[in-house]
Amino acid sequence: MRAGISELAIKLRNREISAVELTKAYIDAIEKLNPTLNAYVHLTFDIALKAAEQADQMLKEGDAPPLCGIPMALKDNICTDGLPTTCCSRILTGFKPYYDATVWEKLKKQGAVLLGKTNMDEFAMGSTSETSCYGAPLNPRNTNYVTGGSSGGSAAAVCANLAVYSLGSDTGGSIRQPASFCGVVGLKPTYGAVSRYGLIAYGSSLDQIGPLTNSVKDAAIVFDAVRGGDKRDQTSVDYDYGPSLTQCLEQDVKGLRIGVAEEFFEGINPEIKSKIEEAIALLEKNGAKIEHIRLPALKLALPVYYIIACAEASSNLGRYDGIRYGYRTASYTSIEEMIVKTRSEGFGDEVKRRIMLGTYVLSSGYYDAYYKKACLIREEINREFDAVFETCDVLVAPTAPNTAFPLNYKGASPVEIYLSDICTVPVNIAGVPAISVPCGVDAKGLPIGMQIIGKKFDEATVLQVAHFYEQSAGEVIGAYEGGAGI
């Protein structure tokens, strides 16, 4: 079995392996596998090796933080001072921010070793990572299938052991869904638990950074390292989680009230449905109380999500005009023409589609019918979640209605792909935390994810249930053969 962060931390401290050796093992694996998997779009090996040397120094001096010397990856929409940060969009070609995202600043201080920036859907808009301007990453479990998205590269890198852990971002499921497709753990924290400073915005009121890891415990360790209020992000909250969320992992589920809402199971692939039901049965067998509850507003979550996210995106993406950074069209005769050509050439189709949708729903004459109504329904969804959490400690649901799509799967329309977000978007709308943990494979051997949803700032219970399930279910999907082999 693959070593987790805490096992690696012990090996590093016992000098069984140095951070430099560990980093080199990952670099070798990336060099071997990334040309196929396309999980990374920018490699930062020089910086990784330097950071590893420093980490070894920190380790030698003693009292090094938990993530010191651990090789990892960041999604390409998280700003890294002096390193490419492109959101996998042509329009940010060559963009190197001169500031760090707060999460990266925190990890750097811990002595984290950044191997590179991972592939994603352009501006995090997509569910397959195929809208990346660098081409899609491939699912390491079966390279004929997509990784899911938008944090597809982050999920693939962790799945294929090309990074011990990675950070992704989740606006409507972009951490959990690729985690589910690739058979890894993905945590979307409570909105505000992790600073968004330096995360290139897609839907600002929904975006949240979180970890993709190989185990629930690793997710807790990484979440511990990046969470906390930030004076540079007004929407962040300095919630008192106590010293470490790893402490809550050892508890069982006896007496915990687990909510199951039938709305989450409508239109779900039967193979997935039965795996989730098996998992629920396992939790019940271990003393959890199953509460059957209703979330009627859930069926409105998808349109609400696409209205709000696109509205915010249409405004957030207005700044990419070719003037200050990134791509600029080659020839133009006026500023107006430059901006129009730059944006026409720089953005891909899915981004353009969402900018147009968002522009439309905010236009005068349509605002009340779309954006305003969506905000009202959002409040109703929040009320329903609040009410449900009066009687439940967590909710259990599928992460996605399907397993990974085949590559280049066109579907009937973009809407069919949008529908695959149906189980994840309500969580973002409500701003609550949720985790996806592997709970089996389908007949094609593709991983299935189970989602555990908690109250705001109750990541502790979410992680506790996820960890208990992970430990008691045993190996639900086969180990990935390959990667760094550590």
Partner 1 sequence: MNYEIVCGIETHIELATKTKIFCGCTTEFGGEPNTHCCPVCTGQPGTLPILNQKVVEYAIKAGLALNCKINTKSHMDRKNYVYPDLPKAYQISQYDEPLCEKGYIELDSGKRIGITRIHIEEDAGKLVHENGYTYIDYNRGGVPLIEIVSEPDISSAEEAREYAEKLQLTMRYIGISDCKMQEGSMRCDVNLSLRKPGDPNFGVRTEIKNINSLSFIQKAVIAEAERQADILDAGGTVVQQTMRYDEATNSVTPMRDKENSDDYRYFPDPDILRFCIDEAKVEEIRASLPELPFAKLRRYVNDLGLPEATAKQISRYRKVAEFFEGALAEGASVKNAANLIVGTIFSNMDTEEEKELFAVRISAAQFAALVKLADEKKINIGVAQSTLQKMLESGKPVEEFIKPEDLVGISDEVLENLCREAIEANPRAVDDVRNGKDKAINVMFGYIMKKTGGKADIRKAEALLRKLIGP
Query: Which of 10, 250, 299, 335 lies at the binding interface for partner 1 (CB under 8 A)?
Result: 335
Find the binder of partner 1 among 115, 339, 417, 448 (CB under 8 A). Answer: 339
Cβ neighbours around 24 below 10 Å, total: 17
Convert 202-214 to b/e letters by CB count within 10 Å (16 or more is b).
bbbbbbbbbbbbb
Near partner 1 in 206-245, by CB under 8 A: 231-235
Helix-helix angle 459-473:216-226, to 10 degrees? 160
344 binds partner 1 (CB under 8 A): no
Tell which one of 318, 411, 445, 485 touches partner 1 (CB under 8 A).
Answer: 318
Residue closest to 303 by CA, chosen among 359, 364, 375: 375
Distance in angstroms (rounded) separating the CA atoms of residues 72 and 115: 6
Task: Give the residue, chosen from 61, 98, 330, 474, that forms a contact with partner 1 under the rule CB under 8 A.
Answer: 98
Helix (H) or strand (E) holding 103: helix 102-109
Residue 363 near partner 1 by CB under 8 A? yes
- The stretch among 272-280, 321-329, 438-446, 467-475 that binds partner 1 (CB under 8 A) is 321-329
Supply the DSSP symbol for 320.
-
Question: Considering the complex, what minimum distance in angstroms separates the CB of residue 475 from partner 1?
Answer: 39
The residue within the footprint of partner 1, chosen from 101, 307, 355, 441 (CB under 8 A), is: 101
Q: What is the rounded CA–CA span in Å between residue 175 and residue 149?
A: 7
Main-chain dihedrals φ then ψ at residue 35, nearest 5 degrees: -55, -30
Does 197 interact with partner 1 (rule: CB under 8 A)? yes
Is-contact 420 465, C-beta < 8 A?
no
Cβ neighbors of 30 (< 8 A, separation 6 or more) are 40, 43, 115, 116, 162
| Contact string (CB under 8 A) for partner 1, positions 257-296, x = contact | ----------------------------------------
Binding residue (CB under 8 A) for partner 1 from 359, 382, 471, 472: 359
Name which position in 45, 99, 265, 332 contacts partner 1 (CB under 8 A).
99
DSSP 146: B
By CB under 8 A, tell whether 325 contacts partner 1.
yes
Please choose, from the candidates 323, 320, 315, 314, the residue with its C-alpha nearest in 3D space to the C-alpha of residue 86: 320
Residue 196 Cβ vs partner 1, minimum distance, rounded to whole Å: 7
Is residue 413 involved in binding partner 1 (CB under 8 A)? no
Nearer CB in complex with partner 1: 78/146: 78
Pair 207, 199: CB distance under 8 Å:
yes
Establish if 92 lies at the interface with partner 1 (CB under 8 A): yes
Count residues contacting partner 1 (CB under 8 A)? 42
92 vs 157, which CB is nearer to partner 1?
Answer: 92
Helices and strands: H and E segment counts in the chain: 15, 11
Q: Is 190 in the site for partner 1 (CB under 8 A)?
A: no
Q: Which residues of 179-188 are buried (b: 16+ CB within 10 A; e: fewer)?
A: bbbbbbbbbb
Chain Cα centroid distance, residue 190: 13
Residue from 142, 315, 382, 472 binding partner 1 (CB under 8 A): 315
Binding site for partner 1 (CB under 8 A): 77-79, 85, 87, 92, 95, 97-99, 101, 196-201, 204-205, 231-235, 311-312, 314-315, 318-319, 321, 323-325, 335, 339, 359, 362-364, 367, 371
